[in-house]
Amino acid sequence: MAAGATRGARRGLLGLIALFLVLGGLLGGTHLWGTAGLAPKLGLDLEGGSQLILSPVVTGGQQVTTDRLNQARDIIVQRVDANGVAGAEVTTTSDNKIVVSMPGTPDRATLDAIRKSSQMQFRGVLCSTSSTTQPAWCPATTPIGPAPLPTATATGTGTATGTATGTATGAATSTPPAASASPTGTSSTAKSAIPQGLRNATTPTPSATTPSGGVTTAGSGTTATPTDPNSPAWVTPALQRAYLALDCSKPGARENIVDISAKPLVTCSTDGTEKYILGPVIVGGDSIGDANAGYQTSQTGATTSVVEIQLSFTGKGKQAYIDASKRMVALADPLNRMATVLDGEVIVAPYFSSAIPDGNASITGNFTIVSARALAQQLKFGALPLSFQLETQTQISPTLGSDQLRLGLLAGLVGLLLVVIYSLFQYHTLGMVTVASLVVAASLTYLSITLLGWSHNYRLDMAGVTGCIVAIGVTADSFIVYFERVRDEVREGRPLRSAVETGWRRARRTILAADGVNFLAAVVLYTLASANVRGFAFTLGLTTIIDLLVVMLFTHPTVALLARTTFFGGGHPWSGLDPERLGAKTIRYAGRGRVAVDPPRRATPAVNDYPGSAL
């Protein structure tokens, strides 16, 4: 049993060494070949940062109301927090502007993630330049850009293969249309070109005369009432003229055009190589329940290099997507195609090869893993009710400064020194285990915070420094519980080796319960609190986990190994585990099958013998 305990203690120390090697190697590698620094990133109150003033862009008769502004602020807070525990502050002003204060200097991707609407829609395709056959309601036109690529084919299970503009699948059952123009064509920000006079005239009106199939022919002036979002009756002569006039290769073709979800839309693909007439919105962005980005897996379960965004819908949107797939799969090109539209641009417009029973969508396109994750975060938290433009961006100084940081660190050092003095006074040489454990915990905390700053943009603010200071007491409490349990076992007359293992089993339950309560409190505080308090909660939760690792992998294994030495195992007076100083009971054989227990010894070595009591 003793040999097993020794092996377990050595395995714990080896595990701790391996953990240090992994964290240290990761930090060193990311510093030498990446962008990681060797010091933790500091928060807004300690380092300063950037202040962004966003002003709303009002188009198409929109109004800036207090409710819309507050809703936009809440969404921006979620998007900023999704980039890490950075301690950013988002507020509104009396002149209907949003002020975002965040540490460091934000890059272009961060700015876009904050102010872009990111409204995703799913619309049926009514007309497209990539249609294999041009229906009567689709004006004859030549594809824009270079010559189209060969037609993409689907696999036997209906999974889409790549096209020039990407693919979108729903549970891997929808396939792309004939390939569009090459992505090397002229890129443009053009999206749609509905003339000003036609913006409110795109909904057909009922008529007594309707061509076959409910189709509105070019120039006929006859219309029919649309029966669903895929009905060709949505295509009016006005839309046809706008479609013919649209040139997606020209920058700014869609500026100041309002995207109305209940009306058709003339628009372009994101790379400007295709143009479309789309029906009204079938599923809106407000029905997106969750969005996650990652690499697509093949039918065999292997991870591919294709980046995808997986969407799940909630409520009526899920059923609407399922019903649309069942209805559109039986239609001819282009009516069997579902366009994924982001902020008025078509990301991809595949056709359905089979119905989608679960209503989940998978979108692939010209994404990198970074851009896909940023887009997934924006979609997950919802679209902004207003569009915003960056009015000003200025650098701001720290709100606390170096004096407060110095005083905070000084308070931490004073607390650490008091813990060390108490440990050495109370536990003598055994207190050095406490000191070593605190050093190990501090090292793990430093490595973790620094790496989290690189990987998750974690910023250490003053609240986080406070959490680290509180962690000193949490860690010291775990050591005290363990050492006192061991000393209680020694007082009961157990040999030190047995006392260490028995005391550990009893102390472990108490330590797990105490740290569990601390961690639960940190999680609740992090979930419900504002940005400043979240830094404290995050640090408290992190240091609680580190406390468990240190106690399990260092403190107990170290004490277990020291108990096998002559100095500690023999109960040296300065070891902190001297049975005589602790008043330990003496258990001895009294003969004739009797065991005698001597009363606890006093701290004076002169008294050694006491009459035993028979058991």
Highest mean pLDDT among 29-43, 165-179, 397-411, 552-566: 552-566
Distance CA 198, CA 263 (A): 11
Q: pLDDT-derived band of residue 464, with 50, 70 and 90 as boundaries? A: confident
Global model pTM greater than 0.75: no
pLDDT value for 450: 93
Is the separation of the CB atoms in 388 and 112 below 8 Å?
A: no
Distance CA 160, CA 165 (A): 12
Distance CA 418, CA 437 (A): 15
Q: Which amino acid is at 218?
A: A
User: What average pLDDT does the chain have?
Assistant: 75
Distance CA 8, CA 2 (A): 10
Residues in the chain: 615
Structure tokens at 436: 């070593």
Q: Tell me what the mean pLDDT of segment 119-135 comes to.
A: 81
pLDDT value for 551: 93
pLDDT of residue 613 exceeding 50: no
Q: What percent of the chain has pLDDT over 70?
A: 75
DSSP classification of residue 214:
G
- Cβ atoms within 10 Å of 477's Cβ, excluding its own: 17
> Which ranges constitute the DSSP H helices of 428-530?
431-456, 462-491, 496-528
Q: Tell me what the mean pLDDT of segment 322-326 comes to.
A: 87
Q: Tell me what the mean pLDDT of segment 171-181 comes to.
A: 37
Distance CA 256, CA 58 (A): 10
pLDDT value for 372: 83
Does the CA dihedral 408-409-413-416 come out positive or negative? positive
pLDDT value for 507: 93
Q: Which of 27-36, 145-154, 367-376, 385-394 has the lowest mean pLDDT?
A: 145-154
pLDDT value for 262: 81
Q: State the virtual CA torsion across 384, 386, 391, 394 in degrees, nearest 10.
A: -30
pLDDT of residue 191 exceeding 50: no
At 8-18, the pLDDT tens digits run 888 989 999 99
